[in-house]
Structure 1
Amino acid sequence: MEPLGSEETAPLDRELTSRTIRLTAAPDQRVALATAETPRTFWAAPGEATVVGSGSATTIRADGRDRFQAVQDAARELFSAGDVHAGALAARPRLFGGFSFHDEHASAGPWGGYPRAKFDLPRTQLTYTDDGTWLTVNAVDTDAERVERRLDAEVERLRSISSPDAGGGPPGIVDRTRTTSEANWRRSVTAATDRIAAGELRKVVLAQALRVTLARPLLLSDTLSRLGERYPDCYRFLIEPDDGAGGFFGATPERLVGRHGRTVETGALAGTTGRGETPEEDEWLAAELLADEKNVHEHELVADAVRTQLEPYAASIRAGERAIRRLATVQHIETPITAELADDVHVLELVEALHPTPAVGGLPPKEALRTIRDTEPFERGWYAAPVGWFDAAGYGSFAVAIRSAVARDDTATLFAGVGIVADSDPDREWDEVQLKYRPILDALE
């Protein structure tokens, strides 16, 4: 169907029709994703329903500098009139997608098909909850009878694939190409710390990109399943371009923001160390991380900035206890932050206010973004940008798209970054970047 938004969003005068049914038998999530139509969507998050989206009933795109507002305006028009029978709150129609990291992002190279903002309303949506699985069929400018026939047909199709087949192994990697040499990395980090010492910056996050050539075609459904086994408490996502040629995927530990009712949940995730070989070594590394001046300083910069960015919208803000977040290959310092909104604020307004957090950008924000643009020899695209979903009420959930890669044909480009502060050591930061590649590399090798 035609996109709903572009540089300027035009009036729509189009009606959404949606029907939902609870399934008595549902296919395995991996198989559902493998057999879905393009563009496919996948979203799995801690404490949330898992959604597999198939095809697109309609797409919202925005390429202007007001992209956050343009998407919000187009979505408001889409949801303003319709014939929606959701059946369950989790199965309600939702828009899934994300934004580019930089406002001036170019949709080219591995990022072909990824504009500055893109959200799909899945044509068919499978929602997996603790209470069961729901099938939702969405359409725009289609009568209810036709949608109900499609719902019946989809139930029959899903019944035929309800027994999962055996998943394939990783595709394997035959070649690797770095965009940043170790020598250039040292120069970049030293230049950044010099600017920090001169008072021009407080922190900047510099990233690297690693392009790998795969031994055989990448099955994203299997890759996300493997990531789920190792990183069940992370935000796993897949967002495909319209032609379904590859996709942007990842398993990120970092929530950007979630909103339900007047409650907003976010947090600070910054400061990293590795995992130990034994529980005792794990605990020792965690204690060392919490006592490390560089990592604690980096973490406090992020936590303070998140609270400051939320203050204009919040009636109250509460920070939880600082703790260690353990993942399969790394440990992070994490501080949960919760706010109660003073007014009814759309989740996209909060996304715009919080992006980019100092955990992926830096401080001051404009100077950090300029430094990133001047330093990194590759296009970040949607890496470290907001990805997630929102609904007609303005509720939603967004993650920061780190521990991610964009795949196309027989290649995948992986991204990883580290926060540079006054006492950062280039060699230690290089090692940390390599550690952060591991989640995706392990799923591909």
Structure 2
Amino acid sequence: MNTEVSTNHTQTEVIQLLLQLGLSSGGSFAIWRKPKSNTVEMVLDDSTVPTKVPITIEELDPGFIIHPFADQEDKKAYFIKANNYLKIQIDGPFERDELPEWAKIRLENESLLTPKELKSLLSKLPQDPYNTGIDESQDKAHFMHLVEMGVQSVLGGKMEKVVPARTKKIAIPEDFNLSLTLLSLMKSYPFAFINFFHIPQVGTWMGASPEVLIETKGDIFYTMSLAGTQPAVGDNPLKTVAWTQKEIEEQALVSRYIVSCLKKIRLREYEEHGPKTVVAGNLLHLRSDFKIDMQATGFPQLGSIMLDLLHPTSAVCGMPRKESHEFLQAYEGFDRSFYAGFLGPVNIQDQTSIYVNLRTASLSENQAILYAGAGVTEDSDPEKEWEETELKCQIIGKFIQNPTT
């Protein structure tokens, strides 16, 4: 370990300090940066026993929520309570004195770990139980057969759309630099929710999600429909993009699903804008935005209500939800764990921002598992859907294997 304690740090070293705080605590912690922001936030709970809470977000203490793709028997989500919280800007030089008192005390006599020492600390964490038993979900032939079965089910009228997923295992390099990887994600994907979390005995994950599930700030509720995928090509991909009927219809299905949820609770006063093309890393998507005044419509708990109605969305599961979910449970062949679940800060500074857990990877001692899915309709081609998942896996994978990319 280094012998001198420096007080002035580069951006990479700031992220490393936060990771050092979390990984050495023995507890649960999350680090994130919201879209279009230069602010990094962190919550830390020293308890070594994971906490689970009901999904009634308006009643929760400030913290960070993580829910798997599949519903839990106890109908609860994992929760990292903000017993310790910090918020720092990383767009310039940083002094340790800018840290809150609790963080300064913990780091008072500690020098900055080297990337190798930090990786060693990461490798000593308990094995993620979801990292075991995954086999055929990596296999191309299995995934393409899954897509073909999905197409046949849609053509047979059983579903309008289904979203099969797959995994991809990659080795974590010897010279892996976790802090540089996270900082590179933040710089490369300014419009994504960059996140890293660890829960003892549960898992260690990081991601760059492009999709808001629900957001509340004051009296305003917000959600989006995001679907349709193609590579971002050229210097100005937004000007040259062209969407196929399959992609347009896929995105429209997600929007219609949101509207159907609003109709279920008889809420008719909402703003809808879009669809428009948006950039998410090396991909383009179609997105529509929905905004609702919770006070004017008389729905103060709209966040919890819509969270329950929307998850899992048709963008990660399919439509109808029951039939597509049953199809995935029967044929997908692996446990998605937190992939396509939801996560994000809750009731921090009077704001809740929960995202679909996409473009994500689970980390263990020597390997990372990448997760990706593709929307399947009657017009889907198995080879193209496989290529789409490969592109999605690259969003995180290339930074793990070469963080300076």
TM-score by length of 1: 0.72
Q: Distance in 1 between matches of 2:109 and 2:233?
A: 45
SS at 1:439 equivalent: helix
Query: What is the root-mean-square deviation of aligned Cα atoms in Å?
Result: 3.4
Partner residue in 2 for 1:307: 259
Partner residue in 2 for 1:270: 227
SS at 1:333 equivalent: strand
| Equivalent residue for 2:245, pick from 267, 270, 293 | 293
* Per-residue CA distance 1:246-265 (angstroms, 9 max, x = gap): 61110011111100122111
Q: Does 1:204 align with 2:194?
A: no
Q: Distance in 2 between matches of 1:346 and 1:302?
A: 19
| Residues 331-350 of structure 1 mapped to structure 2, 5 A cutoff | 331-341=284-294, 342-345=298-301, 347-350=303-306
SS at 1:331 equivalent: strand
SS at 1:402 equivalent: coil
The answer (yes or no) to whether the contact 1:315–1:339 under 8 Å persists in 2 is no
CA distance change for structure 1 residues 430 and 383 in 2, over 3 Å: closer, same or farther? same
Shift of 1:55: 3.7
Shift of 1:226: 1.6
Shift of 1:167: 6.6
Partner residue in 2 for 1:96: 64
Where does structure 1 lack aligned partners over 5 or more consecutive residues? 1-23, 80-93, 107-114, 137-150
Partner residue in 1 for 2:273: 320
Q: Does 1:419 align with 2:368?
A: no
The answer (yes or no) to whether the contact 1:180–1:377 under 8 Å persists in 2 is no
CA distance change for structure 1 residues 246 and 358 in 2, over 3 Å: closer, same or farther? closer
CA distance change for structure 1 residues 95 and 261 in 2, over 3 Å: closer, same or farther? same
| Equivalent residue for 1:241, pick from 191, 199, 203 | 199
Q: Distance in 1 between matches of 2:222 and 2:370?
A: 28
CA distance change for structure 1 residues 27 and 349 in 2, over 3 Å: closer, same or farther? farther
The answer (yes or no) to whether the contact 2:270–2:292 under 8 Å persists in 1 is yes
Q: Distance in 2 between matches of 1:362 and 1:413?
A: 23
Shift of 1:128: 2.4
Shift of 1:62: 3.8
| Residues 194-233 of structure 1 mapped to structure 2, 5 A cutoff | 194-216=152-174, 219-233=177-191
SS at 1:360 equivalent: coil
Which of the pair has the greater relative contact order for Cα pairs under 8 Å at 6+ separation?
2
Shift of 1:165: 8.4
The answer (yes or no) to whether the contact 2:21–2:103 under 8 Å persists in 1 is no
> Identity over the aligned pairs, expressed in percent?
23
* Per-residue CA distance 1:12-63 (angstroms, 9 max, x = gap): xxxxxxxxxxxx9898541332221342211211256531223436977449
Partner residue in 1 for 2:77: 117
| Equivalent residue for 2:148, pick from 180, 190, 199 | 190
The answer (yes or no) to whether the contact 2:314–2:321 under 8 Å persists in 1 is yes
Q: Distance in 1 between matches of 2:341 and 2:283?
A: 21
Shift of 1:337: 1.4
SS at 2:157 equivalent: coil
Q: Distance in 2 between matches of 1:167 and 1:232?
A: 24
| Equivalent residue for 2:323, pick from 367, 383, 398 | 367
| Residues 350-365 of structure 1 mapped to structure 2, 5 A cutoff | 350-365=306-321
Quick one: which amino acid aligns to residue 46 of structure 2? S
Q: Does 1:44 align with 2:33?
A: yes
Where does structure 2 lack aligned partners over 5 or more consecutive residues? 1-6, 120-133
The answer (yes or no) to whether the contact 1:347–1:395 under 8 Å persists in 2 is no
TM-score by length of 2: 0.79
Shift of 1:309: 1.7
SS at 2:213 equivalent: strand
SS at 1:372 equivalent: helix
Q: Does 1:56 align with 2:55?
A: no
Q: Distance in 2 between matches of 1:209 and 1:442?
A: 15
* Per-residue CA distance 1:192-219 (angstroms, 9 max, x = gap): 1111111110111111111222232755
Shift of 1:129: 5.6
Q: Distance in 1 between matches of 2:288 and 2:338?
A: 25
Partner residue in 2 for 1:11: none
| Equivalent residue for 2:104, pick from 155, 161, 164 | 155
Quick one: which amino acid aligns to residue 353 of structure 2? S
Partner residue in 1 for 2:18: 33
SS at 2:339 equivalent: coil
The answer (yes or no) to whether the contact 1:188–1:375 under 8 Å persists in 2 is yes
Quick one: which amino acid aligns to residue 102 of structure 1? A
- The number of equivalent residue pairs is 365
| Equivalent residue for 1:254, pick from 211, 228, 236 | 211
The answer (yes or no) to whether the contact 1:125–1:135 under 8 Å persists in 2 is no
CA distance change for structure 1 residues 104 and 375 in 2, over 3 Å: closer, same or farther? farther
